[in-house]
């Protein structure tokens, strides 16, 4: 190659570099951004399957993630990320993720308002009726499919809550709601502005369509204690009390309290006007609680503690303690056999045979294992199956006879929160709220995800919805649907 041609090619290369926008650098900030984008282009040719966590869109799924940079799929370029503690920088991974989640939530809310959801593809009322007439569906399957069809037609409406203190309704935030056995009442725990909690009972018998109005009955004497766990208790009659596991406050130790529902004025069912008995038991550090309806453990409740299960008889005061290897986060009594099922932080699920006492090792009747901390256990009506969820977002259906997992329900989101399961066998559905604030409804029989409901509030750790589902909200002639408490509001997703 002669000298003149080499110099000409060199000048041509310099001019092309100057004309290329990737090589036109103005300042150190642009230089770093441009270098990141250029390296992204080079690496994308060599590794097309590199994962991208900066965006959930399909167009950015093949763009590699670069440490310290964020790829914007709309502007199609990288931006520098600064540490999240830098208050002057609005662009952090957390803020980007929240922005994406919020835009997705708003889009789903808009879609729900515009069009009806379809529980199963190719499934509608006419096809279901035709299959039933031809004998392809039995009565049980027809009823379950009918409920699935109604679920796809649920519409969100805000419930008007009335109270003797209307100003408190505007400031107090719902922490949890818990329906009683007949879905006549909701026990509520609200976080108050000054700190602590306030308890109330909502009478659902006035919940009628199209005007959804309820009344909140409160008792201000029992407040300022954070609730770890709660369940309805049947001491005098069905659901006569509420069992609360309360955290300690200052020098006051934690305790388990039986709070009579009659203390909340006019909240008890008609015809039952007897005053209840207020009981408090010094049980510090209780993670979970359960009330026994089994005749062999009558008037008894259980509390799950750190490495211990404590069984207490309310009438006699007698206690039995069972040592465990981990904290007990979830509990439920069986009804037909004297067994108490427990879910632990270690991922173990075990049953205590109450007939064996706490001596020796024979009281452990069944053992199952999850890979993460178990947050909820629910026994099905025939007591041959158990549903459990954990902090890895896994929901599993276990066969207690073979101690094997026979079904898994996909889509639940949980990393560290205490989130309950709601099993409704009559309707054939499973309901759970994820840590991402989405309420998901599955078919209990084939684990098909029927519907995903976004929260009316922006997703946050402080505003995870609490829900209650029933085909008879407010009693036998009540409204069928889902109640969702989030923030200061109560919503009803009733059947269309």
In 345-465, beta strands by DSSP E: 348-353, 364-369, 374-379, 385-390, 395-399, 404-409, 421-424, 429-433, 439-443, 449-453
Q: What is the mean pLDDT of residues 218-234?
A: 80
Work out the pLDDT band at 56, boundaries 50, 70, 90: very low
Among 76-80, 249-253, 308-312, the minimum mean pLDDT is found in 249-253
Question: What pLDDT does residue 464 have?
Answer: 94
- Is residue 107 pLDDT above 70, yes or no? yes
Give 245's pLDDT tier (boundaries 50, 70, 90): very high
In this prediction, residue 195 has a pLDDT band, given cuts at 50, 70 and 90, of confident
What's the pLDDT tens digit per position in 139-188?
Answer: 777 777 777 788 888 889 999 998 877 777 777 889 999 999 999 999 99
Confidence of residue 84 (pLDDT cuts 50, 70, 90): low
Which residues face 364 on adjacent strands? 352
**Highest mean pLDDT of the ranges 215-229, 280-294, 348-362:** 280-294
Which pLDDT score is estimated for 33? Answer: 42
- Give the per-residue pLDDT at 273: 45
CATH code of the region 156-267+274-494 = 2.130.10.10
Q: How many Cβ atoms are within 10 Å of 185's Cβ, its own excluded?
A: 26
Q: How far apart are the first and last CA of the chain?
A: 83
How many residues would you count in the chain?
496
Main-chain phi, psi angles of 441, to 5 degrees: -125, 125
Nearest-10 crossing angle of helices 125-133, 139-151: 180
Q: Which has more pLDDT, 224 or 296? A: 296
Res 49: pLDDT: 36
C-alpha dist (Å) from residue 120 to 127, 149, 408, 414? 12, 9, 18, 25
The pLDDT of residue 227 is 87
Across the chain, what does the average pLDDT equal? Answer: 80
What percent of the chain stands above pLDDT 70? 77
> For 29-39, what is the mean pLDDT?
41
Q: Where are the domains of the chain?
A: 156-267+274-494
Tell me: the pLDDT tens digits for 396-445? 999 999 999 999 999 999 999 999 999 999 888 999 999 999 999 999 99
């Amino acid at each position: 190659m002669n000298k003149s041609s080499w110099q000409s090619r060199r000048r041509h290369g310099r001019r092309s570099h100057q004309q290329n926008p990737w090589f036109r650098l103005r300042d150190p900030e642009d230089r770093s951004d441009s270098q990141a984008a250029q390296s992204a282009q080079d690496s994308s040719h060599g590794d097309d399957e590199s994962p991208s966590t900066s965006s959930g869109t399909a167009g950015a799924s093949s763009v590699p993630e670069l440490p310290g940079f964020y790829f914007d799929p709309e502007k199609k370029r990288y931006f520098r990320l600064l540490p999240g503690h830098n208050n002057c920088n609005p662009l952090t991974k957390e803020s980007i993720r929240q922005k994406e989640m919020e835009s997705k939530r708003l889009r789903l809310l808009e879609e729900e308002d515009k069009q009806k959801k379809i529980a199963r593809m190719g499934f509608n009322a006419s096809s279901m009726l035709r299959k039933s007439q031809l004998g392809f569906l039995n009565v049980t399957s027809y009823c379950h499919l009918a409920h699935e069809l109604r679920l796809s037609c649920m519409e969100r409406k805000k419930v008007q809550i009335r109270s003797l203190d209307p100003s408190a309704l505007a400031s107090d935030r719902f922490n949890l709601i818990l329906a009683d056995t007949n879905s006549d009442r909701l026990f509520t725990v609200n976080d108050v502005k000054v700190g602590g909690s306030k308890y109330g009972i909502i009478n659902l018998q006035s919940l009628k369509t199209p005007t959804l109005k309820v009344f909140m009955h409160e008792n201000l004497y029992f407040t300022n204690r954070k609730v770890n766990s709660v369940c309805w208790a049947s001491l005098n009659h069905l659901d006569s009390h509420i069992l609360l596991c309360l955290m300690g406050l200052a020098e006051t130790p934690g305790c388990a309290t039986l709070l009579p529902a009659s203390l909340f004025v006019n909240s008890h069912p008609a015809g039952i006007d007897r005053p209840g008995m207020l009981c408090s038991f010094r049980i510090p550090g209780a993670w979970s609680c359960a009330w026994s309806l089994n005749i062999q453990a009558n008037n008894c409740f259980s509390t799950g503690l750190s490495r211990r299960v404590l069984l207490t008889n309310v009438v006699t005061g007698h206690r039995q303690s069972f040592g465990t290897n981990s904290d007990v986060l979830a509990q439920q009594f069986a009804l037909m056999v004297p067994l108490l099922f427990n879910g632990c932080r270690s991922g173990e699920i075990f049953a205590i045979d109450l007939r064996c006492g706490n001596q020796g090792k024979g009281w452990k009747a069944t053992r199952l294992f999850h890979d993460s901390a178990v947050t909820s256990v629910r026994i099905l009506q025939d007591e041959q199956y158990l549903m459990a969820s954990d902090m890895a977002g896994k929901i599993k259906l276990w066969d207690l006879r073979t101690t094997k997992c026979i079904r898994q329900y996909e889509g639940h989101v949980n990393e560290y929160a205490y989130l309950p399961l709601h099993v409704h066998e009559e309707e054939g559905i499973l309901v759970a709220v994820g840590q991402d604030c989405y309420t998901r409804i599955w078919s209990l029989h084939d684990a098909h995800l029927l519907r995903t409901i976004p929260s009316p509030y922006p997703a946050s750790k402080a505003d995870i919805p609490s829900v209650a589902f029933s085909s008879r909200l407010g009693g036998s002639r009540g409204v069928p649907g889902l109640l969702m408490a989030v923030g200061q509001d109560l919503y009803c997703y009733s059947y269309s």
